[in-house]
Amino acid sequence: MALPRQKLTFERIRKFALSEGKTQAFLWDADVTSLACRATRGTKAFVFQSVYAGKTLRMTIGNINDWRIDDARAEARRLQTLIDTGIDPRIAKAEKIAEAESQQAESRKTKVTFTSAWE
């Protein structure tokens, strides 16, 4: 049975537990409707869920120990804004990761070139 939406608080998340026989459970936020705390065996994480191109899209924001509730709400709002403007947040995330990897590779290349110039 689904729990009613409640404003996520540290105490509610701490008390939230996975029911016997279940693999995951969700505690949905009343403030940001696309945000939930997902409990699985041994861990809890903030997740974002919305609809993109007619299909349900769910993304993990991060572990509850690494994210403040307000920061998770802000991230869920940011992801929803991407969807509202027609951008798939999964693709945006992949592009951001690829760009960071490219910059790291370029930085290593520059470092090697600079170092070898002084040898």
Query: Mind giving me the DSSP string for the chain?
Result: -PPPPB---HHHHHH--PPTT-SEEEEEBSSSTTEEEEEETTEEEEEEEEEETTEEEEEEEEETTTS-HHHHHHHHHHHHHHHHTT--HHHHHHHHHHHHHHHHHHHHHHHHHHHHHT-
User: Is position 106 within any domain?
Assistant: no
What pTM value is reported for the model? 0.79
Total count of domains within the chain:
1
pLDDT in tens, the chain (119 residues): 567 899 999 999 999 999 899 999 999 999 999 999 999 999 999 999 999 999 999 999 999 999 999 999 999 999 999 999 999 999 988 888 888 888 887 777 766 556 565 56
Residue 65 counted as domain residue: yes
Q: Residue 33 sits in which domain range?
A: 10-87
